[in-house]
Amino acid sequence: MTEPMTAATSWQSQPHAIVERDGVRYTLLGTAHVSRVSVEAVEDAIGSGAFDAVAVELDAQRLQAISDPDALARLNLVDVIRKGRVALFAANLALAAYQRRLAEQLGIEPGAELKRAVMMANERDLPVALIDRDVGLTFKRASKKLGFFGRMKLVGSLLGGLMASDELGEDEIEKLKEGDMLESSFGEFAKSSPELYDTIIAERDRYMAAKLREDAGNAREVLAVVGAGHLAGLARHLADDAQPPAQTRTELEHAPPGRSLKWVMSLITVMILAMIAWGYYQGGAELGRQLVKEWVVITAGFAALGAAAALSHPLGILAAAIAAPLKPIRPPGISPGLFSGLVEAWIRKPAYNDFLSLRDDAGTVRGWYRNRVSRTLLSFLLANIGSSIGVWVAGLRIAGKVLT
């Protein structure tokens, strides 16, 4: 379903709010990220010459994604893996694929009005402020708040929408026009999770209000182009928040410590080692060797199985299998998936075309396996998932032998 093109659209006819604070008048223009009318409203507002600065609901990464399609082709995949950014990169990839699906159905690129606002501001030499929080940081804060099972639901919801092949219904599209792109990307889970809603909507309202106050500079008439779903919250925070904007931004850029999953896994590993030592003490060398064998075979086997499920190169599967049993002595952040992914990226180095087609390929299961970039990500993720499962299975097997 696409919107018909209209005659010149007056921006005053679109949802908007005006807030005056500290000698600056902020005009908040609420847009739909999949609407041609919103593009026309932005053109009318900036073309009027009434504003001396423009702000948009974008961060630097999303601006680059919509303005420079070849940016992915310059990505250093090895750095992404080595620096532990795979999960965030995968989330951004899923979001990009979802947006591509919308573009194909609706005939307009999601966020076209934001891109147009930046282009027109640059043409008129108007200052441009990117006021949204980094999407990777938003995803990270959301996942930290949800806990392990919440994260699994989050990933499942995101991938479910990513892999869906049917078109969105008219009701869904209308809701999208009234809401937020990130909220829509997470599907029904966003509606049922207060933690997720708080992170991707309420927190960003506060963050963007702080950024607007912080980035106003010498401007006196600022046009802020934001999704309609943020209009009321942003206007309220912009008018009422008393906290210094720099302090608010620092608070909302901080990624809170994760819940206790890593500590739980570490504790389980320590308990397993203690059980193996107890086995040596109680049952002698024979039982001790058997327990060590159980640990090595099971953890290596499940890590290898995960890498194999990603169709990793045989050397990548071997690397995951060797690294998994070494968990008790591996430095933090060094995982079987890291070795599997690095081997995959080194042996099957992604080509330029793999990066160019990444967004399209990420929309299907076959595409994830065909594209060398996404298959490297799968090697990393599935090898780590397999390794974690192996730790649990090995722990239960060892406990069964020691405690009986």
Rounded mean pLDDT of 67-71? 66
Partner residues linked to 227 by β-bridges = 31
pLDDT at 5: 38
**Cβ atoms of residues 31 and 225 within 8 Å:** yes
Portion of the chain with pLDDT greater than 90, in percent? 31
Residue 312 banded pLDDT, cuts 50, 70, 90 = very high
Of 293-297, 365-369, 381-385, least confident by mean pLDDT is 365-369
| Higher local confidence (pLDDT), 300 or 404 | 300
pLDDT at 13: 86
Question: pLDDT (tens digit, 9 = 90+) per residue, 133-154?
Answer: 987 788 778 777 776 666 666 6
| Higher local confidence (pLDDT), 66 or 324 | 324
* Whole-number average pLDDT of the chain: 79
Residue 9 banded pLDDT, cuts 50, 70, 90 = low
| Higher local confidence (pLDDT), 281 or 124 | 124
Taking the whole predicted model, whether its pTM rises above 0.85 is answered as no
Question: According to the 3-state scheme, what is the secondary structure of 53-122?
Answer: EEEECCCHHHHHHHHCHHHHHHCCHHHHHHCCCHHHHHHHHHHHHHHHHHHHHHCCCCCHHHHHHHHHHH
- Indicate the DSSP class of residue 8: P
Residue 262 banded pLDDT, cuts 50, 70, 90 = low
pLDDT at 6: 44
Question: pLDDT (tens digit, 9 = 90+) per residue, 206-247?
Answer: 999 999 999 988 899 999 999 888 888 999 999 999 999 999
Q: Which residues contact 251 (CB under 8 A, 6 or more apart)?
A: none
Residue 186 has pLDDT above 50, yes or no: yes
pLDDT at 19: 95
Q: Single out the residue of 89, 229, 83, 99 nearest to residue 161, CA to CA.
A: 99
CA distance 210 to 230: 14
CA distance 210 to 18: 16
List the structure tokens of 376. 């490297």
Residue 106 has pLDDT above 60, yes or no: yes
Count the helix, strand and coil residues of the chain and give each as a percent rounded to the nearest 5: 70, 5, 25
**Cβ atoms of residues 367 and 381 within 8 Å:** no
pLDDT at 42: 93
| Higher local confidence (pLDDT), 159 or 276 | 276
